[in-house]
Amino acid sequence: MRVVFMGTPDFAVPALSEIVGQGHEVAAVYTRAPKPGGRRGLDLTPSPVHRLAEGFGVEVRTPRTLRDADEQAAFAALAADVAVVVAYGLILPKPVLDAPALGCLNLHASLLPRWRGAAPIHRAVMAGDAETGVMVMRMEEGLDTGPVAMAERLRIGPDETTGELHDRLAGVGADLLARALAALSRGALQFTPQSETGVLYAHKIDKAEARVDWSAPDRDVHNRIRGLSPFPGAWFEADFGKGPERVKILRATLAPGAGRPGELLDASGLVACGRGAVRLLDVQRAGARAAGFDEFARGARLQPGKAFA
């Protein structure tokens, strides 16, 4: 089939690779415009999907909006059978949704209608969900409200981070999308409306959410740490002799313990929460590389009883 692919981050890369590998004709790739990078922000950094598409020799388009009539006409002129959207980042207005002969398919990383929206993987882990998945849906004007065609469910490990789950979902999702396109080409892709119950929205992660609240129960603290790892990273502050310093937590696990919230209970990273405790495994000081807690504690000369805020 003749496909337009629309995606931006690493999550979308396996899907584009799979579509090209399956022999579909990719008429063009739409992705977000390159972002300023480098020390002075003078270098433009293309998205992961942009770099992959160029490697395949596919035309890349980076409009800043699709609401412009000229952009909509240019999209329609591609005469695509279907558009495939994977974490693109721009709203598709109705003229774009209606342009491909067979519509627009979206690969979404949740079990809809749970976690519609921008950050479904983060939110599933932060909420302590036991499972999640990927779904192929037909896009409509509502936010992730379209009917679903195919799905794969995955268990979420008790200590699994958002980064680890992201990578698993990206691979499973690419395979699911390839099977959906094969079924669509045969006229065999069936759609089922989403349930009207159980709707939750995965709002973008706010920076204020990243600070650890040690007064929360241990399970909530643990889920927040792994749900925000590796990005943006849950963090706490402590004074190691030169004033408050921020420390990012990359990995932790639940462990028995009790004390004042934020108190370091032993030299191996056991920290008290409002109820119970968590053990910090991997952390990163500002401007330093990631390290195991033991190495971090030696460098910071930590002793039990230290207060984290």
Closest CA to 119 of 195, 49, 201: 201
Sign of CA dihedral 264, 265, 267, 268: negative
Strands (E), the chain: 2-7, 25-30, 35-37, 43-45, 60-61, 82-86, 104-108, 116-117, 131-138, 148-155, 201-202, 234-239, 244-255, 270-272, 277-285, 291-292
**Residue spans of the chain under pLDDT 70:** 38-42
Q: Would you state the pLDDT for residue 39? A: 59
**Which residue in this structure is represented by tokens 């004709």?**
25
Give the tens place of pLDDT for each residue, 195-212.
Answer: 999 999 999 999 999 999
pLDDT for 38 equals 58
CA–CA separation, 213 vs 225, rounded Å? 10
Domain chopping of the chain, boundaries: 2-201, 208-300
pLDDT of residue 241: 85
Neighbouring residues of 4: CB distance < 8 A, sequence distance ≥ 6:
26, 27, 28, 29, 30, 75, 78, 80, 82, 83, 84, 100
Under 8 Å between Cβ of 279 and 249: no
**pLDDT (tens digit per residue) in 275-289:** 999 999 999 998 899
CA distances from 178 to 68, 137, 157 (A): 31, 13, 26
CATH of 208-300, one of 3.90.78.10, 3.10.25.10, 3.40.50.9100, 1.25.40.340: 3.10.25.10
Cβ–Cβ under 8 Å, residues 201 and 114: no
Contact between residue 248 and residue 284 where contact means Cβ atoms under 8 Å apart:
yes
Q: Tell me how far apart the alpha carbons of residues 162 and 139 are, in angstroms, rounded to a whole number.
A: 25
- Residues forming beta bridges with residue 180, ordered by sequence position: none
pLDDT at residue 40, rounded to an integer = 58
pLDDT at 183: 98
- 88-91-96-98 Cα dihedral, nearest 10 degrees: 100
What pLDDT, on the 0 to 100 scale, is given for residue 252? 98
Helix or strand or coil: residue 299? helix
CATH number of 2-201: 3.40.50.170
Closest CA to 56 of 91, 5, 92: 5
